[in-house]
Structure 1
Amino acid sequence: MAMVVGGGDCAALYFYLLPLFVWITTLLTFCQGRQYDHPAQYRYSFIKPASSFSLPLSSAMPATYDYIIVGGGTAGCPLAATLSRNYTVLVLERGGTPFANANVSFMKNFHISLADISPKSASQMFISTDGVFNSRARVLGGGTSINAGFYSRASQSYIKRVGWDAKLVNESYIWIEKQIVHRPVLNRWQRAVRDGMLEAGISPFNGFTYDHLYGTKVGGTIFDRFGRRHTAADLLSSANPYNLHVFVHATVHKIEFDTTGKKPNAVGVIFKDENGKKHRAILSKRCGSEIIVSSSAIGSPQLLLLSGIGPKEELEKLNISVVLDNEFVGKGMSDNPMNSIFVPINGRPLKQSLIQTVGVTKLGVYIEASSGFGQSKDSIHCNHGIASAEIGQLSTIPPKQRTHEAIQRYKRRKRNLPHEAFNGGFILEKIAKPLSKGQISLLNTNINDNPSITFNYFSHPADLSRCVEGIRIVEKILKSKHFTNYTKLDDETMEKLLNMSVEANVNLIPKHTNDSKSLEQFCKDTVITIWHYHGGCHVGKVVSPDYKVLGVERLRVIDGSTFDYSPGTNPQATVLMLGRYMGVKILRGRLGKEAGV
């Protein structure tokens, strides 16, 4: 029997099948012949895998762009979105997208992303020569995709000192905040730390504010009330989609230069796609076209070095052709050292919170807090040991002794602690404007490998002195009435836990905070990072005040590698702002009042 379908039935069938057809077509378009985890991986039509870049290295007629941005990170995304309003922009990002990655998207998985050491993870672990575990972003959105989410602006004095246009800075911050920043909901741990800081003398209370002010305050966050992260990649929704191409898994290996003129002239980049195939992207010959490196405080100096810009002697050792001899590339790097105290509490388990409350002291120490990690000593948080995002803060193993074997011994010792020892929160103290300086240098010519990175934590005595003061401030907070009422840990219980902490090698509050030498050793033994490293391409040494690389044409660096110290209590707000700020400045420089921003 034949089935006859009437016009109405056809229309109905079409109505039901059309969404499926569109979904399949979209999926095939996005996947470009590869199997991907989720069709939402490419949220915007202009984001594609690098293998879909249309022109191979051997092409005689390469496509050209007005701007090539190397790194789709914290600064790169707002920069690209802004420049695309008037010019063609290519973004080359070595990592994948954050949109369908649950480890990136949800606050509850924050620690997992940082502990993931697989080649395709959103973070790339490195260990500095100091022995401190650290991470660098490898994902669209950069550090905003893997960090603790805290959002706080730079101080007015910082903005004035670096010579930024204060009005445009404010407008640029607001542009960011309207799109991805939220007001946090404080849980009981954050409220207790807030009240403890005020009682300990970190005043006044400035309430909820983005501004950098002395005293205690609540800052913004890029996590919404549902615990979902909003990254710099979300700012790409403000782009002109017709002018923007974003290629992920596109690893730039080298910037190419024309060296026939008075100064080397940046003309394009060589990058590899996810299959290892080489491609060339070329700048437009239009006046004003530029390559902009926004690859972070590690990636940007590393790429300059690999492209022939750096200390001549170092480059020649690796047979890298010298384009420009500049002794300062990769030098003067700093990381804000952090030490923490884990505070076990009685009662119901704490809810998870990342950084929300902060104390800005005049001693050059910032106090912050987090909670809800390590509810069980057998949990995944604990099993990641020293390399984890939060429970790693419990360890008292000195940095250079943090070997794989030491981690395993550490995990075994923790089993001796009672369950209640893992119900608690952290109080963190970190050093603002560290005076200890380090550097990065190439180990080889493979861009995928981490360079040698040294921060020289506490090599300057002033940094160590401030750490001691920071630990003493934390002690005052723990002894404050608000806090002791909250934690309900009597002296006998605390003494018991302190004694067990020695046996298990777990970092609870030091017993003798009146002993400076003991606290200095505690600072050295428990130092970790808060991921705020900066420098390597300093203004006046590697780049000009408008971030153009000195000694070459058509090349800028716009990211945290240009900072001489980390702005505000946490730098992400200012790095985000800088991307937008410089995008507007560049457009206004070319178009004047006609700039459509």
Structure 2
Amino acid sequence: MEFDLIISALLGIFLFHGLCSSEKAPNYSFMREATTAPAISHYDYIIIGGGTAGCPLAATLSEKYSVLLLERGGSPYGNPNITNLSAFGSALSDLSPNSPSQRFISEDGVINARARVLGGGSCLNAGFYSRAAVEYVRAVGWEGGLVNASYAWVEEKVAFQPPMRGWQSAVRDGLVEVGVEPYNGFTYDHVNGTKIGGTTFDADGRRHTAADLLEYANPKGITLLLHATVHKILFKTKGVSRPLARGVIFRDALGKIHKAYLTRGEMNEVILTSGALGSPQMLMLSGVGPSKQLKAHNITVVLDQPNVGQRMMDNPMNAIFVPSPIPVEVSLIEVVGITSFGSYIEAASGENFAEHYALNDYGMFSPKIGQLSTVPPKRRTPEALKKAINAMSALDDAVFRGGFLLEKIMGPLSTGHLELRTRNPNDNPSVTFNYFQQPEDLRRCVNGLKIIENIIESKSFSKFRYDSLSLPALLNLTASAPVNLLPKHDNVSVSLEQFCKDTVMTIWHYHGGCHVGDVVDQDYKVIGVDKLRVIDGSTFNYSPGTNPQATVMMLGRYMGVRIMNERLAKEKSPN
């Protein structure tokens, strides 16, 4: 076990050295601390959650209406752990109460994170930008023309073409060589085969996030409050045919209570954009959810809605480290292989970073952020993480030269559920994802690993591998280099199925809990309640494309335009 923990430290190889841009952050005159808010206020729209969907939605609605955007975290601007590619992973490893990332551990034992910052997950992720498939758009019933226009609106501010240097180019060429075809070049579109996707890191290594989309906002139409934690949605239940959202209660950083109400108007609304954990949690805390669970926490039942918190999903990720005989560039996700069998192949790389190692040993696969694949999920304890982190300092610098090839399965088909632990909105709910519960998910993982094996052994990738290290050698202990990612079993050779289960990690693409058709309708209105919508990844029946952030940002813009168009049409209607 001790040696396993030492080897697990290899998952911290990514120390990214992007340049700090001198570009000034946006000066949002409408952004202020919640402590400055009045005790009572009124708005046409109240949006709970200034994340990946909330920012574009608020910016859009502010064009014509008064909008209150409530964010429980702080600003991403001026925080180098968010802005600079060189510090990727630093925010995810920060366990302080003021961290932009709030760690949670699913009941499956996989360590995960939820955003607690303006801009949401777009402030913490690896930056890959890729649209949903055309088939996905059709299946969910979105209007194609408006979808494309909404993506373009987002891309104007946050998406860029990545540099594609040696390692990423070798992975790209290897994917094509082993049959993940056709090669589609650089495109934001989701198309089968191999492609170069977009990135939210610009040429200077500066991250752009959903918060940047607030540059589109009408400063006279929006109020943005930071460190504003919503405790419940307020409903009118008397004298109405069904519950009607009328406002929210929130606390500022000092604990002071504030109330915000909707102004009078038939179409004014409260809109939840708090993400796959936050939105079902807030519905339950407000009395909309499974009545048995609500009563167990002494929450008054506004609407018995048993589907809230159900069908939670997280796409499992499995990765293989490949040590390189030559230096490799620093890169995050830039290329993807979209296979025909439902697995996405991606890659990231590091370099020999001796001069920076002591100061910045963070990364996408670091035990500091909980990505400890050498220990099966439920054994990834704080003690195990600490040992892995300490063991990193004992390794020779040469072992940190290389990169990871990873696969993520589409969907997934396996689902779980979310339950309240407490009535405190700052506390994480309990969530179970049931990774690989469905055999098809496991089959996709195995097939994805086989593609990775073929890439490693391809001619295109040959200069980045040691000829003596085959995939079995990479999966098992070798004498030449400590590169094993596999938890030890009594037998020497462990099946790929077992490898998938034992090394499963998150790629932070969890979704569900407020599904369309179960909790919200096709217009994202909460079923059985008036003046309340949910617009975020909690409504997704499966994760869009290879990476969801582009589609979540698009959805915020898309629904903002839809809502405004609906109001305009009704105002013009003679009835």
Q: What TM-score, normalized to structure 1? A: 0.87
| Counterpart for residue 555 of structure 1 | 532
SS for the counterpart of 2:337 is strand
Deviation at 1:592, TM superposition (A): 3.3
The structure-2 alpha-carbon separation of the partners of 1:463 and 1:568, relative to structure 1 and needing over 3 Å to count, comes to same
The corresponding residue for 1:270 is 249
Instruction: Tell me if the contact between 1:498 and 1:511 (Cα under 8 Å) persists in the aligned partners.
Output: no
Match of 2:439 among 430, 454, 461: 461
User: Among 122, 130, 144, which residue is 2:108 paired with?
Assistant: 130
Q: Secondary structure at the match of 1:211?
A: coil
Are positions 1:256 and 2:234 aligned together? yes
Cα offset, 1:520, TM superposition = 1.0
Counterparts of 1:124 and 1:142, CA distance in 2: 11
More deviation, 405-414/552-561? 405-414
Counterpart position of 1:151 = 129
Q: Name 1:470's counterpart in structure 2.
A: 448
Matches within 5 A, 1:271-420: 271-348=250-327, 350-372=328-350, 375=353, 380-381=360-361, 387-389=367-369, 393=371, 395-411=373-389, 417-420=395-398
CA contact under 8 A between 1:413 and 1:504: conserved in structure 2? no
**In 2, distance between residues paired with 1:459 and 1:374?**
39
Q: CA deviation at 1:382?
A: 6.2
- TM-score in terms of structure 2 length: 0.90
Aligned equivalent of 1:179: 157
State the 1:525 CA deviation: 1.0
- Provide the rounded CA distance (Å) in 1 between the counterparts of 2:172 and 2:372: 22
State the AA in 2 paired with 1:576: M
Question: Which moved further from structure 2: 124-133 or 42-51?
Answer: 42-51
Give the SS at the match of 2:88: helix
Partner of 2:411: 433
Per the TM alignment, residue 487 of structure 1 is displaced from its structure 2 partner at its CA by 1.2
Instruction: Determine the structure 2 residue equivalent to 1:521.
Output: 498
CA deviation after TM superposition for structure 1 residue 385, in Å: 8.3
Conserved? CA contact 2:352–2:398, under 8 Å: no
Which amino acid in structure 2 is aligned with residue 566 of structure 1? S
Gaps of 5+ in 2: 1-23
Residue identity matched to 1:341: I
Q: Check whether the contact 2:476–2:493 (CA below 8 A) recurs between aligned residues.
A: no
Deviates more, 1:500-509 or 1:277-286: 500-509
| Structure 1 residue 114 corresponds to structure 2 residue 88 | no
Q: 2:74 aligns with which of 80, 91, 96?
A: 96
- In the other structure, the counterpart of 1:78 is 56
Distance 1:545 1:502 in 2: 57
Structure with the higher helix share, 1 or 2: 1
Cα-to-partner distance string for 1:405-429 (whole Å, 9 max, x where unaligned): 2223334555665432211111110
Any idea what SS the aligned residue of 1:381 has?
A: coil
1:37 maps to which residue? none
CA distance in 1, matches of 2:508, 2:102: 12
**Does the CA-based 8 Å contact 1:150-1:221 persist in structure 2?**
yes
Paired position in structure 2 for 1:47? 31
User: What is the distance in 1 between the residues matched to 2:75 and 2:451?
Assistant: 40
Taking the aligned partners of 1:115 and 1:374, their CA distance within structure 2 comes to 22
- 1:297 touches 1:560 (CA, 8 Å); kept in 2? yes
Secondary structure of the structure 1 residue equivalent to 2:460: helix
Rounded Cα–Cα distance in structure 1 between residues aligned with 2:473 and 2:533: 57
Aligned residue in 1 for 2:507: 530
Is the CA contact (8 Å cut-off) linking 1:312 and 1:326 kept in structure 2?
A: yes
**Alpha carbons of structure 1 residues 96 and 374: separation in structure 2 relative to 1, 3 Å:** farther
TM-superposed deviation, 1:593: 10
Find the aligned partners of 1:247 and 1:396 in 2 and give their Cα distance: 42
Contact 1:129 1:452 in 2 (8 A): yes
Q: 1:591 aligns with which of 543, 568, 571?
A: 568
Alpha carbons of structure 1 residues 439 and 125: separation in structure 2 relative to 1, 3 Å: same
- Of 72-81 and 177-186, deviating more is 177-186
**Candidates 524, 539, 559, aligned match of 1:582:** 559
Q: Does the 8 Å CA contact 2:487/2:502 hold for their aligned counterparts? A: no
What is the distance in 2 between the residues matched to 1:507 and 1:274?
45
The answer to whether the Cα contact below 8 Å between 1:441 and 1:452 also exists between their aligned partners in 2 is: yes
| 2:400 equivalent in structure 1 | 422
Structure number with greater CO (CA < 8 Å, separation at least 6) is 2
**Whole-angstrom distance in 2 between the partners of 1:305 and 1:275:** 24
Tell me by how many angstroms 1:285 deviates.
1.3
Q: Which amino acid aligns with 1:388?
A: K
Q: Which moved more, 1:181-190 or 1:407-416?
A: 407-416
CA–CA distance in structure 2, aligned partners of residues 307 and 503 of structure 1: 58
Which amino acid counterpart does residue 47 of structure 1 have in structure 2? M
Distance 2:189 2:475 in 1: 38
Rounded to whole Å, the distance in 2 between the matches of 1:206 and 1:516 is 37
- Asked if the contact 1:366/1:429 (under 8 Å) is kept, the reply is yes
Could you say if the C-alpha distance between residues 471 and 379 of structure 1 is closer, same or farther in structure 2, counting changes exceeding 3 Å? farther
CA distance in 1, matches of 2:218, 2:45: 14
SS class of match (1:269): strand
Partner of 1:540: 517
**Aligned twin of 1:18:** none
- The question of whether the paired residues in 2 share the 8 Å contact of 1:416 and 1:504 is answered with no
Counterparts of 1:63 and 1:382, CA distance in 2 = 43
Cα deviation code 1:521-577 (max 9, x no counterpart): 111111000000000000111001000001011000000000000001000111000
Kindly state the Cα deviation for residue 396 of structure 1 after the two structures are TM-superposed: 1.3
Matched pairs, number: 544
SS in 2 for 1:235: helix
How far the C-alpha of 1:178 sits from its partner, in A, is 1.2
Higher Cα Rg, which structure: 1
Q: In the alignment, is the contact (CA less than 8 A) between 1:205 and 1:215 conserved in 2?
A: yes
